[in-house]
Amino acid sequence: MDKPQNAYDYFINHKEKFEQRSDEKMKKIYMIAGIVCVVLLIFPIIPLPNWLVRVAVVIGGLYCGFKYMYDTDYYNKESGGKIESVLIKKFLREEVSLDDAVKALEKKDIKFLADATPTTDVPVQLYVYEDKVGKEYYCQIMNYYAADDFRGASDVVVLSDDEYDKYKDLINSMKS
């Protein structure tokens, strides 16, 4: 099997474990906000120029409609936990090559990745997603192969159970 393009590709290809869901509470909030926008579009009662109110409520209404229709997150079916992005670490290429980063992740050498010098603008990056309820991390090395070609350079490595507890502090230390 090919390496996933990114973690979301991994979640999509493992439907037995992951699902996309919407937060029903947020959907209701977006629906109410969208209704308010429609009412304000028809009756612009805010003491500003009518054209300004209408432009703002059209933009707000479109935003609320988009969020209502398409705002979903990935959840672990087994634990019910929401999968959230918790870390993106960019590596100094002179210190950590793509091969070094991939090998370290495959060996689950998170200490090597944590100790590497972070930088702001380089092609090799570590992406970490977390399921707090199920106590799992999903880690992947990403790379810019070209200006318009950013994709996974490694498989997604899952750290769970004892590994989750073992690496939690190291992963949290990379966030700052």
Domain boundaries, the chain: 21-72, 76-175
Give the confidence band of 176 by pLDDT, cuts at 50, 70, 90. Answer: low
CA 28 – CA 33 distance, rounded (Å): 9
Write the pLDDT tens digit of every residue in 52-67.
888 999 999 999 999 9
Rounded-to-integer distance, Cα 35 and Cα 33, Å: 5
Q: CB-side exposure of 96: number of CA atoms within 13 Å?
A: 26
pLDDT in tens, 97-137: 889 899 999 999 999 988 888 887 777 899 999 999 999 99
Please state the pTM of the whole predicted model: 0.79
